[in-house]
Amino acid sequence: MEPVGADTAAGFGVAGTALVRVPGPRVAEGIVTHAARRPVDAALAARQHEAYVAALRSAGWRVRAVPPADDWPDAVFVEDALVVAGDLAVLCRSGEERRRGEGPGAEQAARRLGLRIERIKDPGTLDGGDVLSVGDTVYVGRGARTNEEGICQLAHLLGGRKVVPVDTRGCLHLKSALTALPDGGLIGMPDMVDTSVLPCLRVAPEPSGAHVVPIGPDHVLMAASAPRTAAQLAADGLRVTSVDISEFEALDGCVTCLSVLVP
């Protein structure tokens, strides 16, 4: 894997830059909030992460490694540390104190891409997994990891973009419950979010079917644990790449958590 370079992210001719962080030696100790705790095979997690990275590369993404944070078991879920919007990188401040040491490496990676740096400040809390950008609208989950102050700070930093708070329940992050397809349509689990503030939400056949990463104009990355959702999206004309991330799902993770995509 190449280190994060000083070159800026490419346009969509080359899909862009994907920031990832390899799972550390303590990954099996990651925080579990909603999944049933089970042993995690760290060696298998490493192989699954390699396959995830390979899928991004195959789709045209330039992969850059965020410096390791081996003392922080959940650091592989790099999405939670950083929100990128245009040339701005917002360093998050998690509502889970045990994750607040993951930021320095993410900041270093963002600076090497030439991004402007801002940060969420106390008493605000924000996890990147709660932030879903769809066109000019940014949906932000309000729950255990992200509070109202964090949402307000993010809205200020994003300037004119429309920011919509979305209350969540029974899930770790907003993007644990819903994500967006390449055309901007939402897919997810309506019982986990306040649907009154959302446009039409397509119901995913499986819980992990709510987790879709658009990696091209008609191409999505999904977990292998959502075959029925994958089949539906393929029938709709989307190209679907499925990857096995079972060891990360055991830690409340999903395909969105493992990268920050910078178009």
The one catalytic residue in 173, 211, 219, 254 is 173
Separation of alpha carbons 225 and 206, rounded Å:
8
Give yes or no for a cis peptide into 123 (omega within 30° of 0).
yes
Separation of alpha carbons 63 and 51, rounded Å:
13
- The type of residue at 44 is L
∠ CA 225-229-232, rounded to 5°: 145
Give the CA count within 13 Å in the CB-facing half-sphere of 107: 12
Separation of alpha carbons 5 and 94, rounded Å:
26
∠ CA 179-169-72, rounded to 5°: 75
Residue 171: active-site member: no
Residue 257: active-site member: yes
Instruction: Answer yes or no: are the C-beta atoms of 147 and 165 closer than 8 Å.
Output: no
The one catalytic residue in 92, 171, 254, 257 is 257
Instruction: Return the active site residues.
Output: 173, 257
